[in-house]
Amino acid sequence: MKRTIVGLLVSSVILGPVACSGSDEEEDGLIVGGDNDGGDDLVGTGSRPGQGGPGKEQDGGKVDLTPEDLEAIENAECTGWQGEGESIPAILELVVDVSRSMLDPAPGAGRGTSKWDVTRDALKNAIDSLPNSIAVGLLLYPNVSRRSGSGSDLSCIDTRKMVSIEQLGPSGSPQRTALDDAIDDATIDQYTPTHDAYSYALNEGLEPYGGEGQKFMLLITDGAPTQPLECGSTDVNGVPTDPIIETVKEAAANGIKTFVIGSPGSEESASGEDMRPWLSRAASEGGTAADGCSDSGPVYCHMDMTAEENFAQALVAGLGKIAGQVVTECTYDFPSPPSGQTIDPYLTNVILRWSDGTASLLIRDDKDPEDCTEGWRLTDDNKIELCGTSCDQAKADKGASVSLSFGCSVDDIPITK
């Protein structure tokens, strides 16, 4: 069975026999912590990129395979059982400002088009484009009218309308429908209790979710929070933002990254204060700062939409960029080995099968895995991750698939040199 994940297919994984060298620690059938000292007892003496066995450092790279090479890998003496890889899904909680200021006109949009009109359509399109494996939840805030109040857990936010995190599933699934309906039914009114909204979505939505995967928050707001935590007294001139930033920082310390989008209006609050620096600090503390950014601008660390001539286009592009960072289809769990067997990550080969029928062997990068561009690396938590360029190429080729072969070193494989 194959699973489509944003254009990248995860196909069969070939398992090799019990690993026998270069490792000193075994966890759940996975041998980790191999001896990479480059000693004389290493397997292989070839000269192509990434040569060597489990004790030999590899330096990344890619080797294009002929059909004969591919068949040789699949039928190599050290290759045996077959299984399937397990891609790592992402978990995303959306926290979106629907306060009354979101009814203001959207820059670059047609007459009568509000910032919420643009945000609504961009959100729906972004969710539509996400893979089925991603788990998504949504809290629109405050999502109450002046007349009705919330009648929920928080007096300033209708938490009853929060869409709990679940995997998206296929088109038309209950979760996709629930998200779509919640966005369509949003109430655009009231003030801006950003701290309560972020904290509630984090503590009651994202943190309790038990599914596996990297967790992310996405905050979209047009700037100034006007109510402190616990639905404190409203101040249209804004309230202190340091407590919100501290909560974002605590989330990051627990492995939860926060993306921040500042909609038009965040450049100036009701009191005339520029709100972009606090949004920038939130992104920095949330672990998603843009390269070369500064909290004082002009390049802020969050996604600043205030200078964009066309808010709709900028928001679509921004959400697409975030989706590209959230979607983790380039990271895979090692499959469970057959009973009584083990898998040595240092005897692992990764094959990219392109949509045109060709294939490439990706080489593991041990020398500089944090900065590898082509090939793959072993993550700190013992997962397979395609490097930057290889990941981008795999995602760009919507028919590409990934196969994993376990049990052979690179030089055990009889491929064309």
Residue 341 domain-assigned (yes or no): no
Instruction: Name beta bridge partners: 9.
Output: 4, 401
Give the pLDDT of residue 238. 92
Given a cut of 70, whether residue 398 has pLDDT beyond it is: no
Q: Which residue has the higher pLDDT, 355 or 365?
A: 365
Asked whether residue 156 falls in the same domain as residue 266, the answer is yes
Residue 342 domain-assigned (yes or no): no
Strand 90-97, strand 135-141: pairing: parallel
Asked whether residue 287 falls in the same domain as residue 162, the answer is yes
Annotate 388-399 with b (16+ C-beta within 10 A) or e (fewer).
Answer: eebbebbbebee
Q: What is the pLDDT of residues 117-158, one digit of tens each?
A: 999 999 999 999 887 878 999 999 999 987 666 778 899 999
Asked whether residue 244 falls in the same domain as residue 230, the answer is yes
Asked whether residue 233 falls in the same domain as residue 307, the answer is yes
Which among 326, 357, 375 is the end of a domain? 326
Give the pLDDT of residue 407. 76
Residue 255 domain-assigned (yes or no): yes
Q: How far apart are CA 287 and CA 256, in angstroms?
A: 8
Residue span of the structural domain in which 29 resides? 3-86+348-412
Q: What is the pLDDT of residues 363-379, one digit of tens each?
A: 998 888 778 899 998 88
Asked whether residue 236 falls in the same domain as residue 271, the answer is yes
Give the pLDDT of residue 351. 87
CATH number of the structural domain spanning residue 268: 3.40.50.410
Residue 178 domain-assigned (yes or no): yes
Strand 359-362, strand 62-65: pairing: antiparallel
Q: How far apart are CA 345 and CA 326, in angstroms?
A: 25
Give the pLDDT of residue 328. 61
Asked whether residue 274 falls in the same domain as residue 398, the answer is no
Given a cut of 60, whether residue 24 has pLDDT beyond it is: no
Over range 200-228, report the average pLDDT.
94
Residue 9 domain-assigned (yes or no): yes
Give the pLDDT of residue 33. 39
Q: Which residue has the tokens 């399109």?
A: 125
CB distance 341 to 18 below 8 Å: yes
Q: What is the pLDDT of residues 64-94, one digit of tens each?
A: 999 888 888 777 766 655 444 556 678 999 9
Given a cut of 90, whether residue 161 has pLDDT beyond it is: yes
The pLDDT mean for the chain works out to: 81
Give the pLDDT of residue 393. 85
Give the pLDDT of residue 152. 83
Q: Where are the beta strands (DSSP E) in 17-89?
A: 25-27, 30-32, 62-65, 82-84, 86-87
Given a cut of 60, whether residue 346 has pLDDT beyond it is: yes
Asked whether residue 110 falls in the same domain as residue 243, the answer is yes
